[in-house]
Amino acid sequence: MDLPELLRSQAKRYRCAVCNTNMADCGIKVITQQGNRALVRVTCASCNDENLLQIIFQTDGEPIENEGQKVPTISEGIPPVPDPISSDELLDLRDLLSAHQGGFRELLERR
C-alpha cells in the first residue's frame, strides 16, 4: 500500500475542522517524503480548506527516532497533567487581561 492510499484509508475517520464534512474524499498530495517522514497537503473536498501535515509513520517493531531520540508511543504512558483550569481561574484571567494596557512583554513582567 503506498502512502496516499494509506492516508486515504485513515482520512475517513476524520471530519473537516471548518465544515465538518467527512474527509474520506479529501485531496491528498504528498509534497515530499524522506525516510519515515512525509509532508502532505490535505484539502477538504467540500470547502477546499487546506492543511499541511507532517506525517511520521512507524513500521512494525521499528521505533520512531527524533534527532537521535526515541519518540515515546502512547502505550508508554502519558505524563501527569495538572488539575484542569477552573472556571474561577478563567474569570480571573479574563479580568486581568481586560484591565491590561500594554504589550505582551509588560503583561509577563507584571507581578
- At 12-36, the pLDDT tens digits run 899 999 999 999 999 999 998 888 8
d(CA 73, CA 33): 22
72 part of a folded domain: no
> Would residue 37 count as lying in a domain?
yes
Question: How far apart (Å, rounded) are the C-alpha atoms in residues 111 and 108?
Answer: 8
pLDDT (0 to 100) of residue 110? 58
pLDDT in tens, 49-92: 999 988 887 766 555 555 555 555 544 555 666 788 888 999 99
Question: Within a 10 A sphere around the Cβ of 3, how many other Cβ atoms?
Answer: 14
> Quick check: is 38 in a domain?
yes
C-alpha cell at 60: 512494525
- Count up the domains in the chain and report the number: 1
Model confidence at 104, pLDDT cuts 50, 70, 90, reads: confident
Domain span at residue 94 reads 3-59+82-109
